């Protein structure tokens, strides 16, 4: 049995769906079902004896202790997090609550459970913490991409809260010997992503004839990773990663925000052309830039390629086409 936290969210749900397709091992999903958690993401596995859902918050120590005793997980995969930079700017407290206090409470529960295990099960136990490239700060246009040894320099309440959680995970390995793994990923996209994020926002706004908002000049650069590739990488780290190590997971796809919006518009022009013609690109609207907006992120994913033989299967072009096609085929999902 593995315990997945935040499994009703975007990446967590994709991970559970993929896990149930590729493994017979049972999975328990613990999720508080905040605004970004949606059980509709997991319709395909509801009712399966392999899957169990438990509603709750990772800051609830009593709940975690009960769950650990009941299911006796051999691994914890922690996706539970507040993750939207804009929300962290307007309301940082929720990010400290979940990302810092929640990770601490989960680590304590995992440590207590781990210490009760026989020596062989202790050795095989894993606590995998899913984090972000934003903890590394911002890069200049010619700076080398982030590696696992890049110094942390978070610039938003969100990234600062994730950096704090990463440090806690590292400390629990070095202080207590808890077998932890940390992954830092680049920008994810794909099915089931909440519509406040850039790519689903562009798709859903365009289909509704609404403006396509782009911060500032639109030249901010991000590395883009298809969510199913990310989930495969997490499975690989869980399977073969070295305890205490950090693995950067990226798509090798640096794009400006303007390139993203143009690519989405081009695909929608092809797959769902507007009545009367014309390009969705006419809806592009530049808006005031986000405070403290990081200019560039880029992931060097060479370590996971060399150590664990993982690389993304999707190019940005193939992944984006799959994503647009999924949203076009599921209007009932984003209309919820």
Asked whether residue 80 is assigned to any structural domain, the reply reads yes
Structure-block tokens of residue 174: 């070095």
70: helix, strand or coil: helix
Asked if residue 106 lies in contact with residue 58, where contact means CB atoms within 8 angstroms, the answer is: yes
The pLDDT value recorded for residue 307 is 98
Q: Which residues contact 129 (CB under 8 A, 6 or more apart)?
A: 78, 103, 165, 166, 169, 180, 181, 182, 183
Of the residues 31, 133, 294, 314, only one is catalytic, namely 133
Asked whether residue 260 is assigned to any structural domain, the reply reads no
Asked whether residue 67 is assigned to any structural domain, the reply reads yes
- DSSP output for 2-23: EEEESTTSHHHHHHHHHHHHH-
CA–CA separation, 169 and 157 (whole Å): 19
Q: What is the pLDDT along the chain (336 residues), one digit of tens a residue?
A: 999 999 999 999 999 999 999 999 999 999 999 877 889 999 999 999 999 999 999 999 999 999 999 999 999 999 998 866 667 787 788 889 999 999 999 999 999 999 999 999 999 999 999 999 999 999 999 999 999 999 999 998 899 999 999 999 999 999 999 999 999 999 999 999 988 889 999 999 999 999 999 989 999 999 999 999 999 999 999 999 999 999 999 999 999 999 999 999 999 999 999 988 899 999 999 998 778 778 899 999 999 999 999 999 999 999 999 999 999 999 988 775
Q: What is the CATH number of the domain that holds 44?
A: 3.40.50.720
The verdict on whether 294 is a catalytic residue reads: no
The verdict on whether 24 is a catalytic residue reads: no
Of the residues 134, 228, 254, 314, only one is catalytic, namely 134
Residue that is written with structure tokens 């060399």 in the block = 306
Closest C-alpha to 223, from 245, 250, 201? 250
Structure-block tokens of residue 114: 């781990």
End-to-end CA distance of the chain: 31
What is the dihedral sign for C-alpha 300, 303, 121, 171? Answer: negative
Residue that is written with structure tokens 């060479």 in the block = 302
CA–CA separation, 268 and 26 (whole Å): 39
Cross-strand pairs, 255: 222
Asked if residue 245 lies in contact with residue 170, where contact means CB atoms within 8 angstroms, the answer is: no
DSSP state, 144? P
Parallel, antiparallel, or unpaired: how do β-strands 254-256 and 221-226 relate?
A: antiparallel
Asked if residue 266 lies in contact with residue 216, where contact means CB atoms within 8 angstroms, the answer is: no
Q: What is the pTM of this model?
A: 0.94
The pLDDT value recorded for residue 84 is 64
Asked if residue 20 lies in contact with residue 51, where contact means CB atoms within 8 angstroms, the answer is: yes
The pLDDT value recorded for residue 120 is 96
CA–CA separation, 28 and 320 (whole Å): 30
Asked whether residue 286 is assigned to any structural domain, the reply reads no
CB atoms within 10 A of CB 286: 14
Q: Which residues contact 330 (CB under 8 A, 6 or more apart)?
A: 191
Structure-block tokens of residue 115: 């210490």
Asked whether residue 46 is assigned to any structural domain, the reply reads yes
The pLDDT value recorded for residue 104 is 98
Residue that is written with structure tokens 């995969």 in the block = 77
Structure-block tokens of residue 128: 């995998």
Of the residues 51, 136, 158, 327, only one is catalytic, namely 158
Structure-block tokens of residue 221: 């650069």
Q: Which long-range contacts (CB under 8 A, 24 or more apart) does 197-203 make?
A: 197/10, 197/84, 198/257, 198/260, 199/260, 199/264, 199/320, 199/323, 200/327, 200/334, 202/260, 202/261, 202/264, 202/265, 203/264, 203/268, 203/323, 203/324, 203/327
Asked whether residue 242 is assigned to any structural domain, the reply reads yes
Residue that is written with structure tokens 């409470």 in the block = 105
Structure-block tokens of residue 141: 């246009």
Asked whether residue 170 is assigned to any structural domain, the reply reads yes
The verdict on whether 31 is a catalytic residue reads: no
Asked whether residue 199 is assigned to any structural domain, the reply reads no
The pLDDT value recorded for residue 292 is 72
Count of structural domains, the chain: 1
| Residue numbers of the domain that contains 236 | 2-189+225-251+298-314
Structure-block tokens of residue 260: 């993203």
């Amino acid at each position: 049995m593995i315990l997945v936290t935040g499994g009703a969210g975007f990446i967590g749900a994709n991970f559970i769906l993929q896990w149930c397709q590729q493994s017979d091992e049972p999975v328990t999903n613990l999720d508080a079902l905040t605004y970004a958690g949606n059980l509709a993401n997991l319709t395909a596995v509801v009712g399966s004896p392999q899957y169990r859902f438990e509603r709750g918050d990772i800051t609830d120590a009593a709940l975690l202790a009960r769950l650990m005793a009941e299911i006796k997980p051999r691994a914890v995969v922690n996706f539970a997090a507040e993750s939207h930079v804009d929300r962290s700017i307007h309301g940082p407290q929720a990010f400290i609550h979940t990302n810092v206090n929640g990770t601490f409470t989960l680590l304590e529960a995992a440590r207590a459970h781990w210490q009760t295990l026989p020596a062989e099960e202790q050795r095989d136990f894993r606590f995998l913490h899913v984090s972000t490239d934003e903890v590394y700060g911002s890069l200049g246009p010619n700076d080398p991409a982030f590696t696992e040894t890049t110094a942390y320099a978070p610039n938003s309440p969100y990234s600062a809260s994730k950096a704090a959680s990463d440090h806690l995970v590292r400390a629990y390995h070095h202080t207590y010997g808890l077998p932890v793994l940390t992954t830092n990923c680049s920008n994810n996209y794909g099915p089931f992503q909440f519509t406040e994020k850039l790519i689903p926002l562009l798709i859903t706004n365009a289909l509704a004839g609404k403006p396509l908002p782009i911060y500032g000049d639109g030249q901010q650069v991000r590395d883009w990773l298809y969510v199913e590739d990310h989930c495969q990488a997490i499975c690989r780290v869980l399977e073969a990663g070295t305890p205490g190590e950090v693995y950067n997971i990226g798509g090798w796809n640096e794009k400006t925000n303007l390139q993203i919006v143009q690519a989405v518009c081009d695909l929608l022009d092809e797959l769902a052309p507007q009545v009367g013609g014309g390009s969705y690109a006419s809806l592009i609207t530049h808006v005031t830039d986000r405070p403290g907006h990081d200019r560039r992120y880029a992931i060097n994913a060479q370590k996971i390629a060399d150590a664990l033989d993982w690389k993304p299967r999707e190019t940005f072009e193939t992944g984006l086409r799959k994503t647009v096609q999924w949203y076009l085929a599921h209007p009932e999902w984003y209309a919820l």
